[in-house]
Amino acid sequence: MGDGWVTWRLATERALYGEGGFYRRTPGPAAHFRTSVHASPLFAEALLTLAASAGLRTVVDIGSGRGELLVQLHRLDPALRLIGVDVVGRPDDLPAGVEWLPAVPDVDGALLVANEWLDNVPVEVVTLCADGPRLVVVDMETGAEAEGGPPSERDAAWLARWWPLGADGDRAEIGWPRDDAWARVLDRLGSGIAVAIDYAHGVADRPPAGTLTGYRDGRQVPPVPDGSCDITAHVALDACAEAGRRAGATATVLTTQRAALAALGLVAERPHSELATSDPGRYVGALARAGELAELRELGGLGDFGWLIQSFETPLPAALGGEQREL
């Protein structure tokens, strides 16, 4: 193997965030995949409800893309303090009062939102071989894979706790870099609520083939780490939750987007046909709202996203309940 063969963690870091990397040169995530933010402003409405329920007047959007969520929140409540965090420069069309930073600031009394951010924190990939787990190495130009050396002691400890491999050929993504990234974000929060929203799985149902994949131009593609596509893998949010508790979280909810939206009061019933005659404009608006909410809550789609909600000296809405484990 030549110099182009590296582990998936290094390959992903270079492909996404290096010079000329995917996230530094593309017009933004919306050009390649559809998130809840792009699906409907009701997503922003739900987050605003969560912030308002705790009296939080600052929202920090981590991995802001091109600021779509911040724009929607500004429209809903122009008096909010809004802070975007991303590796790219400030988008030209952001409202003037919105702040834009390259790293999460120290902040108190805020809602921190990490929507589809942790899945882009690079991780190692391992496969179980006859002589034990081995790191998977990849050719950065072609995406071809081969077996590498054994995982580090820390990698092996995380695997044993959070993703035990059962049979030869099983694969896993080692999630401790995401646990660490989440804990570092929480260290910036004096008080408030932090929410991580992502593709997720739990320790009882880890996928034996792993989840590493790519996205380009709205389509799922093989994950070739040459900078031409997004590279992503689902998140072990239960492990991130434990990291958050160690960081001082005083309450934790781990649930699905479908359940979280319902708990935050987002409901949209299909309007009665009589309204189409008596008030056509209202009928069309209600019909659109119902369709958008249905997409956000869809089984097998956005509704299956995991929501990890952790608070710091801040009460969570009673409707969210205490500890929930629906993943």
| pLDDT tens-digit readout, 129-154 | 999 999 999 999 999 999 999 999 99
- Contact at 8 Å (CB) between 60 and 83? yes
**In the predicted model, is pLDDT for residue 269 greater than 90?**
no
**N residues, the chain:** 327
The larger pLDDT score, comparing residue 33 to residue 318, is at 318
pLDDT band at 289 (very low <50, low <70, confident <90, very high): low
Count of domains in the chain?
A: 1
Q: Quick check: is 212 in a domain?
A: yes
Q: Quick check: is 206 in a domain?
A: yes
Q: Model pTM greater than 0.85?
A: yes
pLDDT tens figures, 85-132: 998 889 988 999 999 999 999 999 999 999 999 999 999 999 999 999
Half-sphere exposure of 101 (CA within 13 A, CB side): 11
Average pLDDT over residues 320-327: 52
Handedness of CA 52, 54, 55, 58 (dihedral sign): negative
218-222, 250-254, 283-287, 314-318: segment of lowest average pLDDT: 283-287
Which residue's structure tokens are 């290094």?
A: 10
Calculate helix-pair angle for 153-162, 176-187, nearest 10 degrees: 90
pLDDT band at 323 (very low <50, low <70, confident <90, very high): very low
Burial of residue 193 (CB within 10 Å: 0-12, 13-18, 19+) is: buried
Write the DSSP string, 279-319: -HHHHHHHHHHHHHHHHHT-TTTGGG-EEEEEEESSPPPGG
Alpha-carbon distance of 303 to 46, in angstroms, equals: 13
pLDDT tens figures, 25-71: 766 555 555 677 877 788 899 999 999 999 999 999 999 988 999 99
Which residue's structure tokens are 């956005």?
A: 302
**In the predicted model, is pLDDT for residue 326 greater than 50?**
no
Residue 235 β-bridge partners: 200
- CATH number, domain with residue 206: 3.40.50.12710
Amino acid at 110: A
Q: Quick check: is 209 in a domain?
A: yes
The larger pLDDT score, comparing residue 123 to residue 283, is at 123
pLDDT band at 270 (very low <50, low <70, confident <90, very high): low
**In the predicted model, is pLDDT for residue 195 greater than 70?**
yes
Q: What is the pLDDT of residue 27?
A: 63
Average pLDDT over residues 191-220: 94
92-96, 151-155, 214-218, 279-283: segment of lowest average pLDDT: 279-283
Q: What is the pLDDT of residue 36?
A: 78
Q: Quick check: is 87 in a domain?
A: yes
Average pLDDT over residues 198-202: 95
Domain that holds residue 61: 17-122+174-264+305-315
Query: For the stretch 27-57, what's the b/e string if a residue is b when 16 or more beta carbons lie within 10 angstroms of its beta carbon?
Result: ebbeebbebbbebbbbbbbbbbbbbebbebe
**In the predicted model, is pLDDT for residue 202 greater than 60?**
yes
Q: Quick check: is 189 in a domain?
A: yes
Q: Quick check: is 298 in a domain?
A: no
Q: Quick check: is 247 in a domain?
A: yes
Q: Quick check: is 69 in a domain?
A: yes
